Amino acid sequence: MAMKPWITLIFKASAGTRQKGFSLIEFLVAMSIVMIGLVGLLALFSHAVVVASFSEEAMIAKQKAREALESVFTARNTQQIVYDQIRNVGSGGNPDGIFLAGFQPLYLPTTSGGTGNYPGIVGVTGQHGSVETMMISKPSQTPRVIPLDNFQRQITITNLTADLRQIDVTIRYHVKAGMTQDYTVSSYISRFR
């Protein structure tokens, strides 16, 4: 029985052409390149998560350093303390200074203006994570409470002249086991308001 001409043409065309596809080696090379890219992307993602977790602590440290510096200026301007008290304890001035030397834990303020023995806390609220000290709560927003037992503050006051002093406020916080990060803000304060 003779084959029909169009069937013979199909068999001849398929027998003469060779199908090409991926070999096993090409597949392994392609998968290796994809895996290297995915591992790099995963490493970048994990680094971004670590940096994001530390950025919140850095924001709190900046805020607390600025608050401490502003409170010194406010106390001087409202005459809660006199200029001669704006120095470190034991600095030899008369009267002695009121700011403890070295790193001190951050405590909650008391109603008398000092600090209590309770670690400070802050609340992070708002669209961009604004930091607010948890003394007055806003009824419209419920902040996420962050304890400040990871933070310490040091206020160093240096006499430059009889009427001018430099104030350095350093906030230290722990970022990893055994590693700390410092944020320092400096300003000058004079006897004159």
DSSP secondary structure letters along 129-143: TEEEETTS--TT--P
DSSP 177: T
- All structural domains of the chain with their residue ranges: 35-116+148-190
Q: What is the per-residue pLDDT across 70-111, written as a single tens digit (0 to 9) for each?
A: 988 998 888 888 888 888 888 776 777 888 888 888 876 544
Q: What average pLDDT does the segment 58-78 reach?
A: 89
Coil, strand or helix at 192: coil
Answer whether 190's CB lies under 8 Å from 164's CB.
yes
Coil, strand or helix at 87: coil
Q: What average pLDDT does the segment 60-75 reach?
A: 90
pLDDT at 127: 44
Mean pLDDT estimate for the chain: 76
Q: What is the per-residue pLDDT across 130-183, written as a single tens digit (0 to 9) for each?
A: 444 444 444 555 666 777 888 899 999 998 998 999 999 999 988 777 788 899
Which band of pLDDT confidence, cut at 50, 70 and 90, is reported for residue 115? Answer: very low
- Closest among 193, 191, 186, 192 to 166, alpha carbons compared: 186
pLDDT at 46: 87
pLDDT at 126: 45
Q: Against a cut of 0.85, is the pTM above it?
A: no
